[in-house]
Amino acid sequence: MTDQPIATPPPNDPRAYTTDALCRLMLERNRATIRVQKTAFALPKLERIVTAALELSNSQGFQAMSLRDLSAASGVSMGGMYAYFDGKTTLLRMILSEVTAAVTAVLASPPDHLAQDPREHLMWLIDSHLHLTETMLPWFVFAFMEAKSFPPSERRQAVDSEIQTERYFAEVIARGLHTGCFRPETSPLLPALIKPLLQEWYVKRAKYHRRGVCIETYIATVQDIVLSACATKG
């Protein structure tokens, strides 16, 4: 007998995408292949496996990590791990799928009132993306740092996710140009240039913490930089 379907986190709340919530979603999304069906039994082990995989990848690289390494670090036997996935590539795909799904769920679901205000919508996108990466820090670091060593299909998945994120910004900026909120001379490269500013926070987060820069200060700074590049005066 299996559990009832697992509720998804509120899409407008990037802080809801904790590792616990993401692993619950991973269980639900992979019900057909994960052989441990009861959430009460499956979730704790899956969290241990995923947390260990992200930590090992950060310290030695995903490609260098063996399943024996993962078993030792997670405390889950080799046989126990095979009840969740059939190999490293499947685990990789499961992790990347949750990163992509979380970004889509959050950024594609702005509050209704923002549809009429491109400027505020753009500010919301920056705020939401950065808070999401803060909540999902090891997941985003993994996706960014390991992308070059992914197999071709998974590398394409990671690239497609980056392209989709850029598209959310491009669509709002295009709407702002159409309504006159943004200057006509706004560079078409702006959506592409925003992404590195967002990545900077989770890739080099320790640098900013040493300098006493909190996430709210970083968000406000990125918002100011982006607005200075596109917003009309007054």
Domains of the chain: 14-94 (no CATH), 95-230 (1.10.357.10)
- pLDDT by position in tens, the chain (length 234): 445 556 678 767 899 999 999 999 999 999 889 999 888 999 999 999 999 999 999 898 888 999 999 999 999 999 999 999 999 999 999 999 999 999 999 999 899 888 889 999 999 999 999 999 999 999 999 988 888 888 888 889 888 989 999 999 999 999 999 999 999 999 999 999 999 999 999 999 999 999 999 999 999 999 999 999 999 986
Check: CB of residue 182 under 8 Å from CB of residue 192: no
What number of CA atoms fall less than 13 Å from residue 8's CA on the CB side? 12
Q: What's the pTM value of the predicted model, to 2 decimals?
A: 0.92
Neighbouring C-beta atoms of residue 166, cutoff 10 Å: 15
Given its phi and psi angles, is residue 80 left (phi above 0), alpha (psi -120 to 50 degrees) or beta? Answer: alpha
Which amino acid does the sequence have at 219? I
Closest by CA position to 223, among listed 134, 142, 131, 120: 120
Phi-psi region for residue 85, left (φ > 0), alpha (ψ -120 to 50) or beta? beta
